[in-house]
Amino acid sequence: MSSYSSGINTADADLISYSARSMETLRMAEKMARVAVPVLIYGESGTGKECIARYIHRQQFGTLSSAPYIGVNCAAIPDSLLEATLFGYEKGAFTGAVQSMPGKFEQANGGTLLLDEIGDMPLSLQAKLLRVLQEQEVERLGSTRRIKLSVRIIAATHQHLPTAVAEGRFRQDLFYRLAVLPLTIAPLRERREDILPLVSCFLKKYRAFSATEAELSPQVCQALLDYDWPGNVRELENKIQCGLILCQQGKLTLADLGLPAPAAPSERSLPQQNTPSIRQMGKRVEQQYILDLLEQCEGNKTLTAKKLGITPRALRYRLTSMRQAGLSI
């Protein structure tokens, strides 16, 4: 089965996709990157909405592009400061404005602006945001000069915005302006095939937290698969991080991970002879990452090796090993 992967190396672990749901999400994101219209990403907290936004940005502008990617969490900034944060301000525009400051829209000019948790934006500011999106220009607070914009807008929320519109908490016209291309990220409990590859990624990411290489028993693997993960990928990462700190001699237990014991053995239990180990799964993810990157570089092995941070000779060795293992390259 084919898969998408952002690699073992950390921040984009949310993009590791072995389930059909996740692969379809990334395929849709790739299509959306081809046209510079607003995208609205739905997903529960911790599902990786920002990672998908970054993925769309990279697909549109290229991994080596200097086009800016700017993210702002609308729920984390006080209402009184959000307008100045987004649109910028001139010196003396308000008490404390001791110097001029460009806003997030200006900072993202020529690239992508992520408006995270857009559903928490106050109604008074929604009208001003709509005007900026319609006119593609912004005025700093305390200024009448209009600054032309060329910004790809991606909005994200854990809320159901049509409900917010019906309840009068979100402007309908702004909703339609943002939701040109809607994209929903499934919660981790609905894509359990991604769990063990993600575990492998996080074990490598936090390898330094344990004196020896971590091992997971079939019971622990089953518990990881059985758990519903209300905090999604973020919760999984936190539990692996905590487990590696607490475990003894590299053997992660249910207690280390803070997980309940799996259900009584049944047909769902992991058959040891058919289920890949965490180490094997990690190798698969790494191999897929190399293949994905090679495809992005249009078969250019020198460029691929540079992006991987290895020598061309090391890449040739890995590709040869992958061919010998039966992978089509």
Average pLDDT score, the chain: 86
Distance (Å, whole) CA 307 – CA 91:
42
Predicted pLDDT at 6: 36
- For residue 162, how many other CB atoms are within 10 A of its CB? 12
Distance (Å, whole) CA 200 – CA 270:
17
pTM of model > 0.95: no
Cα torsion angle, 263, 266, 269, 273, sign? positive
The full set of domain ranges for the chain reads 20-185
Over residues 13-35, mean pLDDT: 87
pLDDT band at 285 (very low <50, low <70, confident <90, very high): low
Predicted pLDDT at 328: 65
The CATH H-level superfamily of 20-185 is P-loop containing nucleotide triphosphate hydrolases (3.40.50.300)
Amino acid at 189: R
pLDDT in tens, 30-54: 999 999 999 999 999 999 999 999 9
262 conformational bin, left if phi > 0, alpha if psi -120 to 50, beta if neither: beta
pLDDT at residue 171 tops 60: yes
Distance (Å, whole) CA 149 – CA 133:
9
